[in-house]
Structure formats: C-alpha cells, structure tokens
C-alpha cells in the first residue's frame, strides 16, 4: 500500500514515521508513506495557502489551488482521496478494514477554519475521528494511517487484530501478565487454569460486561448484528 499525506506541517510526522510498528512496516516495504507539503504548490509570492472567507467571518480558509494541485500531483486511478474534517463520517474499525483494501490512500490534513468548499469536489471520502475539533488534521491523519497499516498483511499477526476492541462490536477483554499477584491484586484463577475453553468463555463474558457498562451504543450494535446473523 502507498499512503500520501498532504499537510502544512510535515515535521509533525517525523516521530510518527520513525518509531515502532509504522517504522517496521516501512522498512519491510509493507507500506510506502510520503509526506507532501502542499504549501509548495502555492503560486503566491510567500507560498500562501489560505485566505479570508467570502462573506466575512473569523479565521482563514484553505484555498483550492494549492490543495487540489497537490492532490493531482500524486493521484492515480487506484487512489482514494480522504479529507480529514469534523464534518466527515465517524471513523471506525470497520472503516479501517475497508481502507486496507485500497492500493493508494491520499489523506489531506485540514487546517485553520477548514477547506474552501470546492475542494470537496476532488475528494472521495471525508472522515472525522470524533466529535471534537483539533487545530489541524495531522493527528487524525496519523490515527487513520496507524489503524490501517497495522491491518496490512504481515505487519502484525492476524490473531492480534481479530481479537481487538470493536472487531466484533465488543470492547476487548482484560489482559494480565506476570507477576500473578501484585499488591494483593491477583490475576483471575481461570487464566492460570490452562483450560482454554473456560478461558475463552471468561473472556467473552468480560467483553460483554465491559461493553454493556462502558459503551451501550456498541452493545446495541452487537445485539443487532447477532439478530441479523440469525
């Protein structure tokens, strides 16, 4: 897979690309990630990429020309162009699983008061990572990239992500490691029993309890999915 991230702040991605699983995925050629500064596509003297909104109002708006030309400089017939914006559809694990099927993702990082509306005509998808506003789209772009790259074949084991939170509409079960007892807090006996069937049942029950308590919306989706399977 190839991922091109279009941003005003390329330096924000230095640590992201040179640490942990993302770094390993790049080194083993599971993914190619390019950071593109769309300020370089400005035709103005000082590489300006924003201007005041028509009709008045606070803040500055990203201009069409540099953003669209940056998109077109890397776009191919295999590309999916994504805008990061609070107005986009909510990003989920299901979305990540869909995105991993594409050969090429182009992620445009929003900034300031948003995009000139006409830029949306050049995008295929708009995504939001939650109902809150950030200073820019760089963090959402990292979150989307990280969640997709980890799903690519050979980046992590399939077993690891198939048991993650949200993979079956349930939050993940609690996990423990050594020591078995820490300050009078002990690992549940069933996990030390070696009985794999009982461990499986325990983990599912814990997933259900945790989801019911913390995410009733996911619990509803879990039940709806069970009904549709029947």
Q: Domain boundary at 94, 117, 149, which?
A: 149
**Model confidence pLDDT, tens digit, residues 14-26:** 999 999 999 999 9
Active site residue 164: yes
Domain boundary among 91, 119, 149: 149
Average pLDDT over residues 138-164: 88
pLDDT digits (tens, 9 = 90+) for 64-73: 999 999 999 9
- Please measure the distance between the N-terminal and C-terminal CA atoms of the chain and give it in whole angstroms: 36
Confidence tier at 191 by pLDDT (50, 70, 90): very high
Active site residue: 37, 65, 69, 113, which one? 113
Calculate mean pLDDT across residues 117-129.
97
Instruction: Indicate the residue among 149, 184, 199 that finishes a domain.
Output: 149
Interatomic CA distance for residues 143 and 207, integer angstroms = 24
CATH assignment at residue 131: 3.40.1280.10
Measured CA to CA, the distance from residue 122 to residue 132 in angstroms comes to: 24
User: pLDDT averaged over the chain?
Assistant: 93
104, 1 in Cβ contact below 8 A?
A: yes
- CB-based contact 94:148 (threshold 8 Å): no
Query: Which member of 24, 65, 69, 150 is catalytic?
Result: 150
Residue 74 has pLDDT above 70, yes or no: yes
214 noted as active-site residue: no
Min mean pLDDT across 40-44, 96-100, 117-121, 163-167 is at 163-167
Cβ-contact 173, 210 below 8 angstroms = yes
- Domain assignment present for residue 154? The answer is no
In a domain, 9, yes or no: yes
Q: Are residues 172 and 135 part of one domain?
A: no
Q: Which residues of 71-83 are buried (b: 16+ CB within 10 A; e: fewer)?
A: beeebeeebbbbb
Going by pLDDT thresholds of 50, 70 and 90, the confidence category of residue 159 is low
State the pLDDT at residue 97. 95
Identify the pLDDT of residue 165.
Answer: 60
Q: Among 50, 71, 65, which residue's Cα sits nearest to residue 114?
A: 50
Crossing angle for the helix pair 216-229 and 196-214, to the nearest 10 degrees = 120
- Residue 216 phi/psi, 5-degree rounding, is -60, -25
Q: Using pLDDT thresholds of 50, 70 and 90, give the confidence band for residue 164.
A: low
Residues 139 and 173 in one domain: no
Residue 135: half-sphere exposure toward Cβ, Cα within 13 Å: 3
User: Given the structure tokens 């506003």, which residue do they identify?
Assistant: 133
Predicted pLDDT of residue 139:
97
Backbone torsions φ then ψ of 194, nearest 5 degrees:
80, 0
Residue 161 pLDDT grade (very low, low, confident, very high; cuts 50, 70, 90): low
Statement to judge: residues 180 and 142 lie in one domain: no
136 lies in the same domain as 34:
yes
Which tokens in the block code for residue 148? 């997709």
Domain, as residue range, for 219: 168-229
Residue 82 has a pLDDT of 98
Entry pTM = 0.88
Considering the domain boundaries, does residue 159 fall inside one?
no
User: Which is catalytic among the residues 86, 163, 174, 206?
Assistant: 86
Q: Is 24 a catalytic residue?
A: no
20/108 same-domain check: yes
Q: What are phi and psi of 180, to 5 degrees?
A: -70, -20
Count: domains in the chain: 2
What is the domain-level CATH number for residue 223?
1.10.1270.20
Residue written as tokens 């370089």? 40
Choosing from 69, 93, 163, 164, the catalytic residue is: 164
């Amino acid at each position: 897979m190839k991922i091109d991230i279009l941003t005003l702040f390329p330096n924000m991605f230095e640590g992201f690309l040179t640490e942990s699983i993302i770094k390993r995925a790049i080194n083993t050629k599971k993914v190619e990630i390019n950071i593109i500064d769309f300020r370089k596509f400005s035709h103005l003297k000082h590489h300006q990429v924003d201007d005041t909104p028509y009709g008045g109002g606070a803040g500055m708006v990203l201009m069409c020309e540099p953003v669209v030309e940056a998109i077109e400089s890397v776009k191919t017939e295999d590309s999916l162009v994504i805008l990061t914006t609070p107005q986009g559809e909510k990003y989920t694990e299901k979305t990540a699983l869909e995105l991993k099927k594409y050969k090429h993702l182009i992620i445009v990082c929003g900034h300031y008061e948003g995009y000139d509306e006409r830029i949306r005509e050049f995008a295929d998808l708009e995504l939001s990572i939650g109902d809150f506003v950030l200073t820019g789209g760089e963090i959402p772009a990292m979150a989307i990239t990280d969640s997709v790259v980890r799903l690519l074949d050979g980046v992590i084991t399939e077993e690891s992500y198939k048991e993650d939170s949200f993979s079956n509409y349930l939050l993940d079960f609690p996990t423990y490691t050594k020591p078995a007892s820490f300050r009078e807090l002990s690992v549940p006996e069933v996990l030390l029993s070696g009985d794999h069937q009982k461990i499986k049942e325990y983990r599912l029950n814990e997933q259900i309890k945790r989801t019911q308590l913390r995410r009733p919306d996911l619990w509803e989706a879990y039940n709806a999915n069970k009904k549709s399977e029947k």
